[in-house]
Amino acid sequence: MDIQELITKPSSQQRKALLNKDVSAVELVNAVYDRIDEVEEKIGAYNSLTKDIALQTAETVDEKIKNGEDLPPLAGIPLALKDNINYKGTYTTASSKILENFVSPYDATASKKLKENFIPVIGKANCDEFAMGSSNENSAFKIVRNPWNLNKVPGGSSGGSAAAIAAGEATIALGSDTGGSVRLPASFCGLVSLKPTYGRVSRYGLIAFASSLDQIGPFGRNVEDVALLLKATAGYDSHDSTSLNVPVPDYEKSLRNDLKGIKIGYIKELCSEGLQSEVSEAVQKTIEIYRSLGAEIVEISLPLIKYSIGVYYIVATAEASSNLARFDGVKYGYRTKNPENLYDMYVKTRAEGFGDEVKRRIMLGTYALSSGYYDAYYKKAQQVRRLVKNDFDNAFKKVDILISPTCPYTAFDIGSKIEDPLSMYLMDIATITANLAGIPAMSVPAGLDSNGMPIGIQLLANSFEETKLLNVAFKLEEVVQFKYDIPLKMLVK
Ligand code: GLN
């Protein structure tokens, strides 16, 4: 297989080629940069490239292979890192003008673990500004185009991470998921992704959006890659007080277990009304696949889902308004030119540095937290959040896994929703509940719609049941045999 083809394959094939010495890690990384030269102008997946860092890591891998040393499974596998995750010495902008020239002085814990696993970071992936959005159109620098159809959005907010893999500009990626931001882009770009249990992966060094919802999550071309990258990044971290001290299992070991005795519930409220017909058909087909694999299928009702968008957009904006207070032009980042006084400096810095969506959320969140409204909005939202969690707790007494579409629709046209924030917020109906409840959830490709755009199926499990979740996802993948490589062939001249 030639190297340009090898970079479009899942990590297992690349690892095999590395260990057989068919290619070196440096050659693999260079081949990815050749691909970037060829396609990146059309896609916009990266805010910056980190070639020196990637090549240095690749050289270490080659050295270790030469010396016959044992290597972790993802050593040498090219990765795209969302640009809201600190990686020492790289620009970390969160796709915001306010951090345009910010260089990370330290590593996020997830980045530290990438280094420990000798995973070369190809570049910092474009995203919605401060991870706020569902289409990646809120980046202050440039939009990201969906490699399956360049007129469509890749999904957000981790759109660059997903588009990079779908376009062959990386093999694996990390994103962050506050309300669906790794699952929606995976669903729109025909990839696998996983939002871990809250507390499973350290948030230290992830630029905070909504701290009680944020988790860093892996993307890959298949379930195995996602399992390996989760294993590489998960674990307790004393730097994150919400990280949980639970052992990290070997996720990939249980992927092939059979599904006899597993109970799967499809979520009534998300599988019935308001879906694109092909998405609805894909859900039905998935249910039939699981039935044929020996799983027991039941209907589960989660009646409070109807409140989840309202709850999420109060909790997330409230936390964002507080987290983003630190960007004031004093400590780091952009500062306005020639302010009249200190107050003027704060106001102008933030007015010039933040984009429209970020400002909208700061205003909404500040309002929800202000005295007089706190009880009516923020406190009420937190109470309903608890009830949403209770619904899941009850559901997981009856079933092992829940299923729904990842999104009611497939990828939409660039520009078609950006003027209407509410319709954009509604895209998150299926994904945000997992963040509100803190439970793990995945998106797995299930087929294409009539326009050739990927459809994603969401699978959810109880807290810390990622092993079961990945096993159920793997079994679907085996049957569906999704062709993730269509855009990889389309894009090359
Ligand atoms: N689309 C959601 C939002 O705009 C989720 C974003 C995310 O998960 N980071 O808030």
Domains (range + CATH), the chain: 3-257+466-491 (3.90.1300.10)
Nearest-5° Cα angle at 16, 14 to 17: 65
* Residue 193 and residue 217 in contact, taking contact as beta carbons nearer than 8 Å: yes
**Per-residue pLDDT tens digits for 268-277:** 999 988 899 9
Q: Return the closest-CA partner of residue 178 out of 141, 128, 244.
A: 128
**Per-residue pLDDT tens digits for 204-255:** 999 999 999 999 999 999 999 999 999 999 999 999 999 999 999 999 999 9
* Confidence at residue 308, expressed as pLDDT on a 0 to 100 scale: 95
Checking phi first, is residue 363 left (phi over 0); if not, alpha (psi -120 to 50) or beta? alpha
Spatial distance between the Cα atoms of 167 and 147, rounded to a whole number of angstroms: 6
User: Is residue 428 lining ligand 1, measured as CB closer than 6 Å?
Assistant: yes
User: Is residue 431 lining ligand 1, measured as CB closer than 6 Å?
Assistant: no
Distance 360 CA to ligand 1 centre (A): 14
Distance 424 CA to ligand 1 centre (A): 10
* Residue 25 and residue 76 in contact, taking contact as beta carbons nearer than 8 Å: yes
User: Is residue 132 lining ligand 1, measured as CB closer than 6 Å?
Assistant: yes
Q: How confident is the model at residue 491 (pLDDT cuts 50, 70, 90)?
A: confident
* Confidence at residue 493, expressed as pLDDT on a 0 to 100 scale: 65
Nearest-5° Cα angle at 79, 161 to 435: 45
Residues of the chain with pLDDT > 90, as a percent, come to 95
Specify the 3-state DSSP secondary structure of 23: coil
pLDDT at residue 489 is higher than 90 = no
Rg (CA), the chain: 21
- What is the average per-residue pLDDT within 465-474? 98
* Confidence at residue 490, expressed as pLDDT on a 0 to 100 scale: 83
Q: Return the closest-CA partner of residue 154 out of 462, 422, 412, 423.
A: 412
* Confidence at residue 273, expressed as pLDDT on a 0 to 100 scale: 84
Distance 172 CA to ligand 1 centre (A): 21
* Confidence at residue 175, expressed as pLDDT on a 0 to 100 scale: 98
* Confidence at residue 314, expressed as pLDDT on a 0 to 100 scale: 97
Spatial distance between the Cα atoms of 264 and 71, rounded to a whole number of angstroms: 37
Average pLDDT, the chain: 97
* Residue 430 and residue 405 in contact, taking contact as beta carbons nearer than 8 Å: yes
Spatial distance between the Cα atoms of 352 and 247, rounded to a whole number of angstroms: 45
Q: How confident is the model at residue 492 (pLDDT cuts 50, 70, 90)?
A: confident
Spatial distance between the Cα atoms of 324 and 230, rounded to a whole number of angstroms: 28
**Per-residue pLDDT tens digits for 105-142:** 999 999 999 999 999 999 999 999 999 999 999 999 99
**Per-residue pLDDT tens digits for 60-78:** 999 999 999 999 999 999 9
Residues of the chain with pLDDT > 70, as a percent, come to 100
Q: Cα dist. 378→302, 310, 428, 435 in Å?
A: 22, 11, 20, 16
CA 224 to chain centroid, in Å, comes to 16
- For residue 156, give the ligand 1 atom closest to its CA: 1
Residues acting as catalytic residues = 82, 157, 181
- What is the average per-residue pLDDT within 430-454? 98
Spatial distance between the Cα atoms of 395 and 410, rounded to a whole number of angstroms: 27
How many Cα atoms sit within 13 Å of 263 on the Cβ side? Answer: 12
Spatial distance between the Cα atoms of 493 and 485, rounded to a whole number of angstroms: 15
What is the chain's length? Answer: 493
User: Is residue 158 lining ligand 1, measured as CB closer than 6 Å?
Assistant: no
Distance 118 CA to ligand 1 centre (A): 30
Reading the block at residue 450, the tokens are 């009539």
What ranges in 191-341 are assigned the alpha helix state H? 223-233, 268-271, 277-292, 305-323
User: Is residue 317 lining ligand 1, measured as CB closer than 6 Å?
Assistant: no
109 DSSP assignment: H
- For residue 181, give the ligand 1 atom closest to its CA: 8
User: Is residue 217 lining ligand 1, measured as CB closer than 6 Å?
Assistant: no
The answer to which of 172-186, 356-370, 414-428 has the lowest mean pLDDT is 414-428
- For residue 177, give the ligand 1 atom closest to its CA: 8
- What is the average per-residue pLDDT within 196-206? 98
**Per-residue pLDDT tens digits for 359-405:** 999 999 999 999 889 999 999 999 999 999 999 999 999 999 999 99
Q: How confident is the model at residue 422 (pLDDT cuts 50, 70, 90)?
A: confident
